Amino acid sequence: MKNVFPRLRIFALILVALSLMLTATAADKPINVMLLTGQCSQYHNWELSSQILKRILDDAGRFNVDVVTTPPKGADMSKFNPDFTNYQVVVMDYDGDEWSGPTKNAFAKYISAGGGLVTFHDTDNAFPKWNEWLEMIAVGGWAGRDESWGPKIRWRAGAMVLDESPGTATHPPQHDFLIEVRAPQHPIMKGMPPKWMHAKDELYSQLRGPAKNVEVLATATADKSKIKNGTNEHEPMIMAISYGDGRVIHNTLGHVGPRDKEPIDAVDCVGFIIALQRSAEWAATGKVTIPIPADFPTAEKISVRQP
């Protein structure tokens, strides 16, 4: 009887090689991203921030990005009905007029069925009366959000806490602040330093909402004895939310003001850039392949890339 073991070994090696090839092919296949924008409040600048977000996503070499723009403020929104299903993830830079009922329903269905969503900074101010949206983002700010909207999210004694105490959204003046990773094994956070300095930005505080199915990935705090509007609480900066089968990342960072011109430290911060890229990849696929670069900020020093 002939020895079949060498043949079996060769066959096993071929299977391993094919598996690795298929994995590499899947990782190399571009992710289709809808960057949805078009309106914001007087305190922000969607025209500039959306350009920056597209550049950050393009620079990752992992995404095909289509910019989808809503009608302007006060215009007819009834015909705004993009096909979300053509995309694996929506990166949203929007705070403006309400969408039509059919568009809201289509978006909620898309996320619930397994679509991805990454919200950018003031996007959490949008849609204060849309219940499905409030659940998607867990907590939001301004637009009348008070105790009736739900609790605040805090990080205390090593765990997420829901805080029912009074208080509405605020933020200290822009400054450099320390980000603390709270879920080091989450694919987005894995490999990041436990603490890293984020460059000059608004530290959103006292956001409120349903706070369901949420995992806090990173927090920051401001000492109210040293800085105006500090809360002394570890406020959530980056959160992961499950909505049906969908994956949502709520990122509060990245202020771009109406009079800002590039460079802008808040969005040029390497920590912000990498968190956004990895968030978009994870929301789309459930995995992260984008590495942590050598110029990532440390607990002592910010790191900013010039555009």
What are the CA-CA distances from residue 224 to residues 156, 178, 180, 202 (Å)?
A: 17, 15, 18, 15
Backbone dihedral angles phi then psi of residue 260, each to the nearest 5 degrees: -70, 145
**pTM recorded for the entire structure:** 0.92
Whether residue 237 contacts residue 259, with contact meaning beta carbons closer than 8 Å, is answered with no
Q: Whose CA is closest to 179, among 306, 303, 298, 305?
A: 298
Q: Is the dihedral of CA 160, 165, 168, 173 positive or negative?
A: negative
Evaluate whether residue 4 is within a structural domain: no
Domain that holds residue 243: 15-285
In tens digits, the chain (307 residues) has pLDDT values of 455 445 545 544 444 444 444 444 456 799 999 999 999 999 999 999 999 999 999 999 999 999 999 999 999 999 999 999 999 999 999 999 999 999 999 999 999 999 999 999 999 999 999 999 999 999 999 999 999 999 999 999 999 999 999 999 999 999 999 999 999 999 999 999 999 999 999 999 999 999 999 999 999 999 999 999 999 999 999 999 999 999 999 999 999 999 999 999 999 999 999 999 999 999 999 999 999 999 999 999 999 999 9
Residue 293 lies inside a defined structural domain of this protein: no
Residue 97 lies in a domain: yes
pLDDT given for residue 27 in this prediction: 60
The tokens of 106 are what? 């289509």
Residue 216 covered by a domain: yes
Is 2 contained in some domain?
A: no
Residue 270 sits in a domain whose CATH number is 3.40.50.880
User: Is residue 9 assigned to a domain?
Assistant: no
Within-domain flag for 186: yes
Q: Is residue 297 part of a domain?
A: no
Query: What pLDDT is recorded for position 28?
Result: 75
Phi and psi dihedrals of 276, rounded to 5?
-65, -45
Q: How many domains does the chain divide into?
A: 1
Q: Which helix (H) or strand (E) holds 31?
A: strand 31-37
Question: Residue 3's pLDDT is what?
Answer: 53
Element (H, E) at 215: strand 214-220
